[in-house]
Amino acid sequence: MWVNVFDPNGERTCNAHFKTWLNEYELRELLLSISDDLTEAYEMRNTLSEFFRNGTKADAADRLQVILADLNRSQVKELNAFGQTVVNWFREIVNSFEIVKTEYVVDKKNGKARRKDHRLTSSMIENRNKLVKQIKNNANGYTNWKRFRNRVLYVLNRPAF
């Protein structure tokens, strides 16, 4: 069941830890009031989510520079470390906003067409790497390279159901 943490009028349930009745919104607000660092990290997470959801290739570099400045100004050491990771992968992050395919999808509810852009990602390669690791782990290792290679090729070429 999906619970909306932004609905202040949501249904309250008994929270055993705080020993009171809270809805998801009140629980989030209570947790964020515990620490300024936690609040800052939560706000940065929201900023990053909005950046990746609504960013474009044209403004990605400028917006990422602003985010990077915020990360470096932060008092939270984990956000500073994440800022260094962003510096290391800056070009790749900006390039991830490149549109590689555009398609038009008809919404089943209202029948209206909407544009769906597909951005450049490494998700397929990451998926393949994960599958190879799972094959190796499920077999508890292979001693015969040829057999391992054939198993990987078989699994990767099998149509997905």
For 56, how many CA atoms within 13 A lie in the half-sphere containing its CB?
Answer: 2
Q: What is the pLDDT of residue 129?
A: 92
Sheet strands (E) in 23-151? 99-106, 113-119
Residue pair 10/23 in contact (Cβ under 8 Å)? The answer is yes
The residue that leads in pLDDT, 117 or 74, is 74
Closest CA to 119 of 48, 60, 46, 45: 60
Given pLDDT bands bounded at 50, 70 and 90, which one contains residue 1? very low
pLDDT (tens digit, 9 = 90+) per residue, 31-62? 999 999 999 999 999 999 999 999 889 999 99
Q: Which pair of structure tokens corresponds to residue 82?
A: 């994440």
pTM higher than 0.75: no
- Tens digits of residue pLDDT in 117-129: 888 788 888 999 9
